[in-house]
């Protein structure tokens, strides 16, 4: 069996990123689109940690903390937005949210 | 960097959970698939000598963030939204083409780099102590900015959630 190298992790991370991007492009449910964005952030985190292991450097793991923090803030804001939009429009279909003014 | 068999099993779980999340008709199922995806990635972190990150992943992502997602899904009753696969035929085809282009870009980058010449580095100390020291020695300013970002997000959420008079 060959050894697992950094390339394998980059490939896995890329596949996850593409799946997330497909979710953003294909789905119409705003909550699912948010989940897809979370998965894309996670694939980046996986690449960070794999590189930290490959290079023997702690900085990659520290960066993951910042990504997780930003993701948490983004989710809180995004879900609050979704709830607010749902209150006025009674829908979370992304095609219905096409006006700057509610 | 881990055992190949373990890598393949975990990668299969991760990718299957990701696809399940994107393709599932029910939003609650999507959220649960995403929890599985996050948990599998947390196991990857343990394999990659990042146990503390793995614990943060489980508590923050699979715990807090996904509970928030599930809460909002059930609050809005959005489990079964129609037209979930999205839009028109040409949009789906375009999305497929764009995804293939993205795969091609990634593949080109990896292949251009050639095979890895240097081996994997030796294991380093990744205890919470070491991480904390690095965080507060080299990344103090980003840390402070992150704090301000979280405060701004908190205030923003409160303002959004206020009932309009």
* Domains contained in chain A, CATH given: 6-96 (1.10.287.3510)
The whole-number pLDDT of residue B119 equals 67
Domain presence at residue B56:
yes
Structural domain harbouring B106? 87-113
For residue B70, tell me if it sits in a domain: yes
Say yes or no: B76 and B2 in one domain.
yes
* Contact assessment for residue A64 and residue A45, using Cβ atoms and an 8 Å cutoff: yes
Please count the structural domains in chain B: 3
Q: What is the ipTM of this complex?
A: 0.91
* Residues B70, B6 share a domain: yes
In a domain, B24, yes or no: yes
Is A54 within 8 Å of A68 (Cβ atoms)? no
* Same domain? B71 vs B103: no
Question: In angstroms, what separates the C-alpha of B30 from chain A's closest C-alpha?
Answer: 7
Give the mean pLDDT of A53-65: 90
For residue A102, pLDDT over 60 is answered with no
Is 60 exceeded by the pLDDT of residue B165?
Answer: no
Q: What is the pLDDT of residues B78-96, one digit of tens each?
A: 666 655 455 678 888 888 8
**Cα–Cα distance list, A38 to A94, B25, B65, B67, B161 (Å):** 17, 18, 10, 14, 22
Residue A99 has pLDDT above 90, yes or no: no
Partner A contacted by B70 (CB < 8 A): no
Residues 28-67 of B with CB under 8 A from A: 30-31, 34, 37-38, 41, 44-45, 48-50, 52-53, 56-57, 60-61, 64-65
**Cα distance between residue B38 and residue B53, in whole Å:** 12
* Matching residue, tokens 């003014």: A101
pLDDT for residue B85: 54
For a pLDDT cut of 90, what percent of chain B falls above it?
A: 50
B126 contacts in chain A (CB < 8 Å): 58, 61
Q: Residues B91, B135: one domain?
A: no
Cβ neighbours of A33 in B, within 8 Å: none
Are B10 and B56 in the same domain? Answer: yes
Residue of B nearest to A16 (CA): B15
Q: Which residues of A touch B94 (CB under 8 A)?
A: 25
Instruction: Please tell me the distance from the alpha carbon of residue A94 to that of residue B143, in angstroms, as a whole number.
Output: 34
Of B68, B85, B110, the CB nearest to A75: B68
Alpha-carbon gap, residue B82 to B20, rounded angstroms: 17
Residue B100 has pLDDT above 60, yes or no: yes
Instruction: Count how many residues are written for chain B.
Output: 165
Q: Work out the average pLDDT over B24-46.
A: 93
Q: Identify whether residues B10 and B53 lie together within a single domain.
A: yes
Residue that wins the pLDDT comparison between B50 and B115:
B50
pLDDT of amino acid B39: 95
pLDDT at position B120 is 73
Indicate whether B58 and B109 sit together in one domain. Answer: no
B118 inside domain: no
Q: Is A29 helix (H, G, I), strand (E, B) or coil?
A: strand
CB < 8 Å to A26, chain B: 22, 85-87, 91-92, 95
Average pLDDT on B65-87 reads 76
Together in a domain, B61 and B97 = no
Is the pLDDT score of B7 beyond 80?
A: yes
Identity of the residue in A2, A19, A93 whose CB atom sits nearest the CB atom of B4:
A2
Whether residue B104 sits in one domain with residue B66: no
Same structural domain, B4 and B49: yes
Q: Domain for residue B119, yes or no?
A: no
Contact B81 A93 (CB under 8 A): yes
pLDDT of residue B98: 87
- Is residue B41 domain-resident? yes
The predicted model gives B9-19 an average pLDDT of: 95
Let me know whether B10 and B61 are in one domain.
Answer: yes
Residues B73 and B101 both lie in one domain: no
Nearest to A19 among B11, B18, B134 (CB): B18
Residue B62: give its domain's CATH number. 1.20.120.1200
């Amino acid at each position: 069996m060959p050894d697992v190298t950094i390339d394998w992790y980059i490939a896995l991370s890329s596949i996850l990123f593409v799946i997330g991007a497909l979710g953003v492009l294909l789905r119409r449910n705003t909550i699912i689109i948010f989940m897809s964005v979370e998965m894309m952030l996670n694939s980046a985190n996986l690449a960070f940690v794999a590189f930290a292991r490959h290079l023997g450097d702690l900085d990659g793991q520290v960066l993951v903390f910042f990504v997780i923090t930003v993701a948490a803030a983004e989710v809180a804001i995004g879900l609050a937005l979704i709830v607010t939009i749902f209150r006025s429009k009674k829908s979370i279909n992304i095609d219905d949210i096409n006006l700057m003014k509610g | 960097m881990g055992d190949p068999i373990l890598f393949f099993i975990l990668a299969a779980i991760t990718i299957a959970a990701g696809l399940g999340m994107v393709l599932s008709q029910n939003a609650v199922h999507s959220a649960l698939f995403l929890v599985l995806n996050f948990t599998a990635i947390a196991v990857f972190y343990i394999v990659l000598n990042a146990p503390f990150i793995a614990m943060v992943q489980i508590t923050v992502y699979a715990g807090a963030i996904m509970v928030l997602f599930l809460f909002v899904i059930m609050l809005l009753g959005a489990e079964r939204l129609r037209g979930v696969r999205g839009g028109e035929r040409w949009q789906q085809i375009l999305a497929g083409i764009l995804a293939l282009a993205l795969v091609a870009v990634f593949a080109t980058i990896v292949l251009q780099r050639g095979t890895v010449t240097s081996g994997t580095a030796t294991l380093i100390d990744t205890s919470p102590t070491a991480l904390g020291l690095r965080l507060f020695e080299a990344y103090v300013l980003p840390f402070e900015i992150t704090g301000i970002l979280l405060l701004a997000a908190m205030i923003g959420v409160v303002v959004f959630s206020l009932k309009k008079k």
